[in-house]
Amino acid sequence: MTMDVTAEVIADVDALVCERGHDIEAIVLGASAGGIGALLTILAPLPATLPIPIVIVLHVAEDKASRLVEVFSHHLAPQVRLAEDKAYVATDTVYFSSAGYHLSIEKGRWFSLSREEPRYFSRPAIDFLFTSAADAYGGALLGVLMTGANEDGAEGLAAIARAGGVTVVQDPDEAEFATMPLAALKLLRPDRILSLQQIRTLIYRLEIPDAG
Amino acid sequence: MPKNEATLDIELPLLMEAIYRKYSYDFRNYSLASQKRRVIHALRQMECPSVSELQARILREPETFLQLLQYLTIPTTEMFRDPDYFLSLREKVVPLLRTYPSLKIWIAGCSTGEELYAMAILLKEEGLLSRSIIYATDINPAVLEKARKGIFPLNRMRAYSANYQAAGGKNAFSDYFTAAYDAAIFDRSLCENVTFADHSLATDSVFSETHLISCRNVMIYFNHELQDRVLELFHESLCHRGFLGLGSKENLEFSRWGSFFEAVDKPWRVYRKK
Ligand SMILES: C[S@@+](CC[C@H](N)C(=O)[O-])C[C@H]1O[C@@H](n2cnc3c(N)ncnc32)[C@H](O)[C@@H]1O
């Protein structure tokens, strides 16, 4: 039974990669409470070379944020960096946003930081990254919204959908905190609702297209 | 041209062009992502159904433009924000500033003045305030007016006091203001040599022979082109080996002008003209 589900899942993810995978040029991930564990799970298998950059907004307390890069560098093969103001988005990199600043991607595909008011009590806001990335990448974007205890990210994911990008929401039954995925499901019908294992497979297949 | 460009993406640059031609405020080279959010926010607050309609209104009603200006500029600020920056100025820059008989210091994009008062306090404690001329500039006349008054919410003083101590403050922070109801009224003598000026980094020229320019969290709202312009301006304004301080998440790495400055304290974004 489990075997079948897994095979089915891989077939489904492969279908998605086949359908849309060739034109995905960036991946944006959003998570809040429970996010560190979830991100470590989905990013762990990635190799050092990533053709598609990954940009993450994870809500954490300001004093802990500076350690994110350290923690993830320790566990992941690709280079992990803070997205710096005015730097161009580069491949082979997993980016986190700096605490206390909103992170956006401009149309020229460079990062911009800003100190606008917090959104849902958080700065960075997932909505701002997702919405700006949708403007910058249009249909060539995959957005994934995961566990979290507030409603940030739902509008951003809807913007990605409107721009023709691929949208994935973590299965709320499985998410450590379901509020964030549920808020997204209230606002849109994503392309897929997936478990962490499935999200992990999806990202892996996108990053390593010829993996068996 | 991209086909089916979103209406908003057509309207936004037209609005900025209209503002520039009518009021000479140049927002055409700001980062677009936050600018777009600011305009959408302004539409809601000003109960305007579309950017085109907002444009029609601001062209005819200067007071509506002034209202919009409050949304377009982001005034977020604090006293001794990033205390380590001020500590770095104290320890690494002040000793060199001491060698000049008189000083010119430029706080560019000073917003409501918190950064200015922090700088004045620092200079006073280091015995440099009386020989300094400080230019405090911003494009938003409303924030400049607040900066001139030097009255801040009393409930922020506890946090500012902690910042002040962490920034190497030498006295009691409360020495510098008088509490009146819910306001902290800052000592007027801090501003004796301050010139407040409506000045745009996007369109105006420089103050000459400055020794230190502090321009924090202003260029993050600019695109590469405008950042280049501003850094060229600063390079021209600074005296030989003058200092430049930026916000803690800003950098010179992605500008053509970066190589004309060297880092004095890279983590805290203190640079020096080569
Ligand atoms: C986020 S505040 C920074 C305040 C202070 N420097 C700090 O770091 O706490 C940005 C300020 O830059 C000003 N500003 C924006 N564009 C400007 C321009 N072209 N020239 C001068 N000031 C500008 C805004 O009006 C606003 O007050």
Q: What is the percent of chain B with per-residue pLDDT over 70, rounded to a whole number?
A: 99
> Which atom of ligand 1 lies nearest, measured to the CA of B203?
19
- What CATH number corresponds to the domain at position B164? 3.40.50.150
Is residue B162 domain-shared with residue B240, that is, in the same domain? yes
Distance in angstroms (rounded) separating the CA atoms of residues A16 and A209: 12
pLDDT of B234 above 80: yes
Residues of B in Cβ contact (< 8 Å) with A110: 224, 254
The CA dihedral of A134, A117, A29, A23, to the nearest 10 degrees, is 10
Residues of B in Cβ contact (< 8 Å) with A128: 33, 37
Phi–psi pair at B212, nearest 5 degrees: -145, 130
Domain that holds residue B46: 5-72
pLDDT of amino acid A17 = 73
| A32 catalytic residue (yes or no) | yes
Is ligand 1 within 6 A of the CB of residue A115? yes
Is residue B103 domain-shared with residue B128, that is, in the same domain? yes
Q: What share of chain A is helix, strand, coil (3-state, %, to 5)?
A: 40, 20, 40
Is residue B41 domain-shared with residue B96, that is, in the same domain? no
- The CA distance from B22 to the nearest CA of chain A, in Å, is 26
Is residue B190 domain-shared with residue B99, that is, in the same domain? yes
Is residue B234 domain-shared with residue B118, that is, in the same domain? yes
Q: Has residue B40 been placed in a domain? A: yes
User: Which among A7-11, A60-64, A178-182 has the top mean pLDDT?
Assistant: A178-182
Q: Contact B220/A107, CB-based, under 8 Å?
A: no
Average pLDDT of B136-158? 97
Query: Who's near A55: CB < 8 A, 6+ residues apart?
Result: A26, A27, A28, A29, A83, A89, A95, A97, A103, A105, A129, A133
Is ligand 1 within 6 A of the CB of residue B272? no
pLDDT of amino acid A22 = 67
Average pLDDT of B137-153? 97
Residues of B in Cβ contact (< 8 Å) with A108: 223
Average pLDDT of B187-214? 96
Distance in angstroms (rounded) separating the CA atoms of residues A39 and B80: 35
Structure tokens at B38: 């600011």
Query: How many domains does one find in chain B?
Result: 2
Is residue B42 domain-shared with residue B89, that is, in the same domain? no
Q: Enter the ipTM.
A: 0.93
The CATH class given to the A2-207 domain equals alpha beta
Is residue B129 domain-shared with residue B242, that is, in the same domain? yes
For chain A, the domains span 2-207
Q: Has residue B78 been placed in a domain? A: no
Average pLDDT of B105-111? 98
Distance in angstroms (rounded) separating the CA atoms of residues A176 and A35: 9
Beta bridge partners of residue A103, listed in sequence order = A113
pLDDT band at A61 (very low <50, low <70, confident <90, very high): confident
Beta bridge partners of residue A93, listed in sequence order = A79
Say which of A32, A97, A104, A132 is annotated catalytic: A32
Average pLDDT of B172-180? 97
pLDDT of A20 above 90: no
Q: What is the mean pLDDT of chain B?
A: 96
Is residue B16 domain-shared with residue B105, that is, in the same domain? no
Q: Name which of A64-78, B208-222, B250-264 the model is least confident about.
A: A64-78
Query: Who's near B99: CB < 8 A, 6+ residues apart?
Result: none
Is residue B120 domain-shared with residue B19, that is, in the same domain? no
Structure tokens at A7: 């095979």
> Which atom of ligand 1 lies nearest, measured to the CA of B81?
9
Distance in angstroms (rounded) separating the CA atoms of residues B84 and B80: 9
Is residue B133 domain-shared with residue B162, that is, in the same domain? yes
Is residue B89 domain-shared with residue B166, that is, in the same domain? yes
Per-residue DSSP letter, A208: S
Is residue B124 domain-shared with residue B246, that is, in the same domain? yes
Is ligand 1 within 6 A of the CB of residue B82? no
| Residue that the structure tokens 């190799």 belong to | A47
